Amino acid sequence: MPKKSLNVLFASSEAVPFIKTGGLADVSGSLPPVLRGLGQDVRLILPAYPEALQRIGETREVAQLRLPGHHESVHLLEGRGENDMPVYLVDAPSAFRRKGNPYVGPKGIDWPDNHRRFTLFSRAVAALGLNRAGLDWNPDIVHCNDWQTGLVPALMDHEWQRPATLFTIHNLSYFGLFSHEAFEELHLPTDLWRMEGLEFYGSGSFLKAGLAYADQITTVSPTYAGEIRTATFGYGLEGLLQFRSNRLSGILNGIDYAAWNPATDPHLDHPYDLSTLDNRIHNKRELQREFDLPERDNALLFGYIGRLVEQKGADLILDILPRLQRQGNAQVVFLGSGNPDLEQTLREAQYQFPEMVRCRIGYDEGLSHRIEGGCDAFLMPSRFEPCGLNQLYSLRYGCVPIVHTTGGLADSVVDVTAATLKNGSATGFSFLHANPDGLWYAVHRALECYHNRPDLWLELMTRGMQSDFSWERSAGQYLRLYHKALHGEPGP
């Protein structure tokens, strides 16, 4: 018997195409429409940032909410997304209509009232979740994502009739931490402040609230779901995650195959697919020109795209540049922004290695596509990586990934070894230890292969391009988990 179609409220602090700072936006923008395609009534809810209001186009006000602790009424606007999906924007001008980033002010420092802003957002999500916004739509499931929505399961926990909740961890290292004084400002139920609730060593954590109260917890790869139960990756939350083990599972992210398709990508001057791979070299030359690098067809062109933070390990790449220079015949391009010191070191590397290194500091969607479509190999030496999307984009674009064996990188890239060559599964190069020697071990093998085994390199490109990381498979897993959450069954 086919299972009943579910009403799902998908709550996120960012989603493509409305607002993006990282992979959370890619996931929140692409998973809900796929679930709708599977017959579920999924609706997205986001804060009404100026950029989101501008990008969504036409909206209508569907409700006004009075929420505890907030002096003005909050307007709930409804617009439409992909697959005709209703998208709700929580419009609280004093909290969300600010220029710049959803989380940080112009100087790159967290907005000081983030605890109030995301409590407000979570209260609005809970009001919709409990069908108290006057929409006459009763969600079966509220799917929350990361600390910004961590309070939602806690806010609904005591309700007699409430939807089931699923909380997805995209990155355990962002705790949404705040002080006890801040907690008092929020007028939350006082019993949330305890060790089994959101209290964390004298502070409060929105992330922990999600982990403690959600009916089901997921994270974005099976390997990361195991890693976060250990002290190395659990940051003190491993005990809670072990305790909740029978509700915790890992579902690998998919990618949007329409937006990331080298055959139709509007950002590429020379689109290509498996039958027209020869076009790719033109993208490489264009990219070398764009970065003002010597146009060398036979240099192995490495790419890096990502936030410049400790997690991503860009510093490890900087560390191996002298070795790469000595080895010869390689070039590296970086695209990213973040830590000012790292940005500066990258800029300086261009002068130190003028024929080999270029960086672009900033955020550039088009350039990120051109790097995937023009580089030969993609460097992702992340110290930890819950899932990672760029290695998936790289596979899709025939840009051979070089990754640290962790989290979603371990679940998506198959290292070149004697065994994987024999069974025909290798798609890239990986290394076990997140240090310069570890990275060099993989880079060195990639150089050898690129320069001496073009047949094998082509095999890696081809296999990557043929592998399937579309959302369909993972969306089915979420659906099964929604039903488990609804029936109070343990997962996964």
Placement of tokens 């076009």 in the chain: 279
Instruction: Choose the stretch contacting ligand GLC; rule: CB under 6 A; options: 58-66, 327-335, 385-393, 423-431.
Output: 385-393
Instruction: Choose the stretch contacting ligand ADP; rule: CB under 6 A; options: 56-64, 93-101, 102-110, 388-396.
Output: 388-396
Strand arrangement of the beta sheet that strand 74-80 belongs to: 60-65, 74-80, 86-91, 41-47, 7-11, 141-145, 164-169, 216-219, 248-250
Rounded Cα distance, 243 and 14, in Å:
30
Rounded Cα distance, 436 and 452, in Å:
24
Q: How far is the CB of 325 from ligand GLC (least distance, A)?
A: 30
Instruction: Choose the stretch contacting ligand ADP; rule: CB under 6 A; options: 37-45, 383-391, 459-467, 477-485.
Output: 383-391
Q: How far is the CB of 27 from ligand GLC (least distance, A)?
A: 5
* Nearest residue (beta carbon) to ligand ADP: 23
Rounded Cα distance, 321 and 348, in Å:
12
Tokens linked to 366:
């088009």
**Which partner in ligand GLC, ligand ADP, none is near 141 (CB below 5 to 8 A by kind)?**
none
Q: How far is the CB of 145 from ligand GLC (least distance, A)?
A: 8
C-beta closer to ligand ADP: residue 348 or 365: 365
Q: Please identify which residue in 11, 19, 24, 63 interacts with ligand GLC, judged by CB under 6 A.
A: 24
Q: How far is CA 7 from CA 296, 362, 446, in A?
A: 54, 38, 47
Q: Please identify which residue in 3, 4, 5, 22 interacts with ligand GLC, judged by CB under 6 A.
A: 22
Q: Please identify which residue in 70, 123, 162, 170 interacts with ligand GLC, judged by CB under 6 A.
A: 170
Q: How far is CA 44 from CA 35, 105, 385, in A?
A: 11, 25, 25
451 contacts 329 by C-beta, under 8 angstroms: yes
Nearest C-alpha neighbor of 453 from the set 421, 430, 425? 421
Instruction: Choose the stretch contacting ligand ADP; rule: CB under 6 A; options: 111-119, 144-152, 285-293, 300-308.
Output: 300-308
Q: How far is the CB of 234 from ligand GLC (least distance, A)?
A: 15
Sequence-ordered list of residues with C-beta below 8 angstroms from that of 453, at least 6 positions apart, any chain: none
Nearest C-alpha neighbor of 410 from the set 437, 429, 438? 429
Count of positions (residues) in the chain:
492
Q: Please identify which residue in 165, 218, 221, 368 interacts with ligand ADP, judged by CB under 6 A.
A: 368
Contact pattern for ligand ADP over residues 26 through 65, marking x by CB under 6 A: x---------------------------------------
167 by Cβ neighbours in 10 Å (0-12 / 13-18 / 19+) ranks as buried
| φ, ψ dihedrals at 25, nearest 5° | -65, -40
**Which partner in ligand ADP, ligand GLC, none is near 220 (CB below 5 to 8 A by kind)?**
ligand GLC
C-beta closer to ligand ADP: residue 163 or 306: 306
Query: Is there binding between residue 31 and ligand GLC (CB under 6 A)?
Result: no
**Which partner in ligand ADP, ligand GLC, none is near 336 (CB below 5 to 8 A by kind)?**
ligand ADP
Residues numbered 392 to 451 that lie near ligand GLC (CB under 6 A) are: 408
C-beta closer to ligand GLC: residue 271 or 338: 338
217 contacts 248 by C-beta, under 8 angstroms: yes
Query: Is there binding between residue 22 and ligand ADP (CB under 6 A)?
Result: yes
Calculate the CA dihedral of residues 268, 274, 278, 280 and round it to 10 degrees: 30
Q: How far is the CB of 410 from ligand ADP (least distance, A)?
A: 14
Q: Please identify which residue in 74, 142, 305, 399 interacts with ligand ADP, judged by CB under 6 A.
A: 305
Sign of the Cα pseudo-torsion (138, 169, 109, 236, in order): positive
Q: How far is the CB of 47 from ligand GLC (least distance, A)?
A: 18
**Which partner in ligand GLC, ligand ADP, none is near 459 (CB below 5 to 8 A by kind)?**
none
Q: How far is the CB of 227 from ligand GLC (least distance, A)?
A: 12
Q: Please identify which residue in 77, 217, 335, 357 interacts with ligand ADP, judged by CB under 6 A.
A: 335
Q: Please identify which residue in 81, 336, 436, 491 interacts with ligand ADP, judged by CB under 6 A.
A: 336
Residues in contact with ligand ADP by CB under 6 A are: 22-24, 26, 305-307, 335-337, 363-365, 368, 387-390
